[in-house]
Amino acid sequence: MNKDIKDIIILLTALLLSAIVIAGIYYRAKRIPEETPGTLKRYQLQGTPDHPAMFYPTDLTKDINLLGSSHDVFIGKVISQTGDKETQIGPRTQYSVEVIDNIKGKLKDIVTIDMLGGYDKDGKLVVIEENDSTDFLLKPGSTYLFATRYNEEEDWYTLISHPNARKIISTDNTKNEAALMALIDQDEKVKSFESAYAHEVLLDADIAHGNTRNSFQSLAPAEKAAAQSRADAARALLEAMQ
């Protein structure tokens, strides 16, 4: 194969896989909206047993893969919904979020989180497969653990669509930062993510495309030592919890 053509194929593959994770899902065939009574619409996709219609580029049930597929992983309190947008793959919803603590990355103050799903033009709630419809949309006042990818064009952080990419830390809007940090410091999923960061498995597409934002290996020596120490402490706490 001509080297130039081979390089183009590799680049296109990298771009495609990067787009897969940003959206959280990849559509192999026509999207089929499955209607349910009331106001819920759950997207299911048409495919074959050998080629499922929806897949992730890696097993995101494993935290080391999820951390490697993420650009920024953090805990934040949702302030309000700030927007919604219709796209070819369905509605998207945006929220302003106050950053409480970081596991991967250095976010601070207020950021915008974008998620695939939300209410469509008919007023029906669009829920992505594998997610629970009862708490699918983010709730203002609640605090969550988020695994996201940065969208430079929109300057927002897209929540990875897999259920493992988020967890509710607290629904109590009255808790201050100190009270939230006390919960965060004892949360098993937070500790699992902290432990996984030092052992994250990056996506081949991100490596090929130079898109390994905030990867553990990219940290300065002092930052890497601090992250490793945090991972070791998290692992020790997880073992004590068992």
* Unique residue bearing structure tokens 């080297």: 3
Q: What is the pTM of this model?
A: 0.81
Q: What is the mean pLDDT of the chain?
A: 82
pLDDT score for 129: 67
Closest residue by Cα to residue 77 from 27, 132, 125, 146 = 146
pLDDT score for 19: 44
Encoded amino acid at 234, one letter: A
The Cα 154–Cα 149 span in angstroms is: 12
pLDDT score for 124: 82
pLDDT along the chain (242 residues), means of 10: 40 38 37 46 43 65 96 98 87 96 97 92 79 86 97 94 94 96 96 97 93 96 97 95 86
CATH, domain range 3-241: 2.40.50.120
pLDDT score for 72: 98
Task: Sketch the domain layout of the chain as residue ranges.
Answer: 3-241
pLDDT score for 33: 47
pLDDT score for 229: 97
